[in-house]
Amino acid sequence: MSPKITTELLRQLRQVMKSSRYLTEPIQAYIVPSGDAHQSEYIAPCDCRRAFISGFDGSAGTAIITEQKAAMWTDGRYFLQAAQQIDSNWTLMKMGLKDTPTQEDWLVSVLPEGSKVGVDPFIIPADQWKRISKALKSAGHVLVPVKENLIDAIWMDRPQRPCKPLMTLDLSYTGIGWKEKIAALRAKMVERKVLWLVVTALDEVSWLFNLRGSDVEYNPVFFAYAVIGTDTIRLFISGDRMADPSTREHLLLDSSLEAEFKIQVVPYESVLMELQAICVGLSPKEKVWLSDKASYALTEAIPKAHRYLTPCTPICIAKAVKNAAETEGMRRAHIKDAVALCELFNWLEKEVPKGSVTEISAADKAEEFRSQQNDFVDLSFATISSTGPNGAIIHYKPVPETNRALSGNEIYLLDSGAQYKDGTTDVTRTMHFGTPSAYEKECFTYVLKGHIAVSAAIFPNGTKGHLLDSFARSALWDCGLDYLHGTGHGVGCFLNVHEGPCGISYKTFADEPLEAGMIVSDEPGYYEDESFGIRIENVVLVIPAKTKYNFSNRGSLTFEPLTLVPIQTKMISVPLLTQKEVREVVDGGEQTHSEGPKDLVS
């Protein structure tokens, strides 16, 4: 991976930062956030502005360009990748390390007195705006919204915003019709005494209307906003996608139905104007509900007195707790996914010794097997197919320049998943086609112990996922090892492979408590730079647990693995496992029922 040469681009950007064509006054710094106007993690090519200006194309990172400097903040998953992709114009800011300054602290330390810092108000979340703006203000600077995106201004061949056809999902997949979802949502709005709810997250719009799209790679979503009133529904969406008869029928656009379920279709671009118009008509005390992660632009459109901001919307929580149809769909998807991966592992065992398999061809083969499964739609993220040192790049994606052949001499890590019409998968297995070293087995077994500790954990109702994170690390910590990423993320049902509001991470304290029906990943790892990477990941369903006692009738929860892909037993150093852990691997889930148990108990 060679870095992108950005000298000329940065020169152009710095010129634009002083240009009266875009700005009434010059700015001394420009912030390029990671997301799009919907604060998506995965974004369309037209929104990859940070990758365009810096070369770093990981899923998380913020670039800040001043008149003299350029700096890139990213987290532990991307330290190596970012270091390889950015050139010497850039300083890498490793988030989570003790000495790394925050964006605002860094800005304050480098800016000349009384500086102006610009950002596109549509792609910065309001909570970030607030934090940065406050810090800048108290140091005598000011954060200003720059309406025209300055990256777009210098991005000559910027792609068009995608506008692909929609897919409708019937009740057998969704379990609940969209009218019912809207009714439940309005009940929540009444409970919180709000008149309007603005839906800005793409997966929330998709889930609410039981529609899917393919505007963004890997995420079956489409560009749209929705504004739900107590008796109106507005869907902001572009193009002629509402001309499709099956979509019209699904949304009952041509049916006579109760007025409060009539969907008004409005152009995507008009959301800000419409929201402003709604706010003009509000009486005192009437509130508009919005996620506090929504863009600064939309948040500002609602006068402060009318804003009702919460860390997550009621849709976000309803979507996270899967209903019976969704859970069954996820189970079916994981069976199909395991079949495909077993076929792949069988193929790899035969082909790797011939020396003809590379990271890319292995990833392609995985996709081929998956695509043969019923209701396969797409991958759920870019396959991480990495062998040897590439495995230490946590979110590695093989490209021709870095592509390595799989061999009997190195560890191979495959983190992959698919979108099936009935569910989303995400699984990581780490394997060796020769003889792993004692040290590799030792590290693998610590990771496995952490994986089991989370998967087998029993915890009271109301527990937040971040309280389980240390369980995954304890075996590694005992030997002085660790991994610089969270342990688990929420997983959508034929939706985004990363979704809120639950997760298992030392970083997330704003997570919602785990409850039965939520689905998260359990994926501890261990990475040795320039040597190897290990990760073991299952998708697990939160289920009620029966305990011996039931303190204060609180009830308990635990996890049931949905992932059914075998774990390679030759990577395990059995003496490092406790009897209880062996029992968990053998009886706990079904993920090792092929050859695991016999090896382990022998």
State the residues that interact with a second copy by CB under 8 A.
98, 138, 140, 285, 305, 457-460, 462, 467-471, 473-474, 477-482, 506, 509, 545, 547-552, 554, 556, 578
Q: How far is the CB of 537 from a second copy (least distance, A)?
A: 20
Judged by CB, which is closer to a second copy: 361, or 470?
470
Residue environment code for 149-188, b if the CB has 16+ CB neighbours within 10 A, otherwise e: bbbebbbeebeebbeeebbbbeeebbbbebbebbeebbeb
Q: How far is the CB of 555 from a second copy (least distance, A)?
A: 8
Q: How far is the CB of 531 from a second copy (least distance, A)?
A: 12
User: Considering Cα of 434, then 437, then 440, then 445, what sign does the dihedral take?
Assistant: positive
According to DSSP, residue 69 is labeled: -
Q: How far is the CB of 282 from a second copy (least distance, A)?
A: 14
Question: Which one, of 264, 275, 206, lies nearest residue 235 by Cα?
Answer: 264
Judged by CB, which is closer to a second copy: 303, or 408?
303
First vs last Cα of the chain: how many Å apart?
A: 45
Judged by CB, which is closer to a second copy: 37, or 468?
468
Judged by CB, which is closer to a second copy: 354, or 548?
548
Q: How far is the CB of 556 from a second copy (least distance, A)?
A: 5
Judged by CB, which is closer to a second copy: 473, or 498?
473
Judged by CB, which is closer to a second copy: 112, or 462?
462
Judged by CB, which is closer to a second copy: 388, or 465?
465
How many helices (H) and strands (E) in the chain?
19, 28
Round to whole Å and give the CA distance between 387 and 398.
Answer: 10
Q: How far is the CB of 301 from a second copy (least distance, A)?
A: 18
Round to whole Å and give the CA distance between 67 and 11.
Answer: 9
Q: What are phi and psi of 470, to 5 degrees?
A: -65, -25
Judged by CB, which is closer to a second copy: 259, or 551?
551
Q: How far is the CB of 602 from a second copy (least distance, A)?
A: 22
Name the residue with tokens 């390029």.
32
Whether the upstream peptide bond of residue 162 has omega within 30° of 0, thus cis, is: no
Question: Which one, of 275, 305, 287, 133, lies nearest residue 199 by Cα?
Answer: 275
Q: How far is the CB of 110 from a second copy (least distance, A)?
A: 15
Q: Which residues contact 207 (CB under 8 A, 6 or more apart)?
A: 181, 315, 318, 319, 492, 495
Judged by CB, which is closer to a second copy: 549, or 575?
549
Element (H, E) at 28: none
Give CA separation, 307 vs 277, 278, 294, 483, in Å: 15, 12, 12, 39
**Tokens in use for 257?**
């139905």
Q: How far is the CB of 311 from a second copy (least distance, A)?
A: 14
Question: Which one, of 200, 224, 210, lies nearest residue 329 by Cα?
Answer: 210
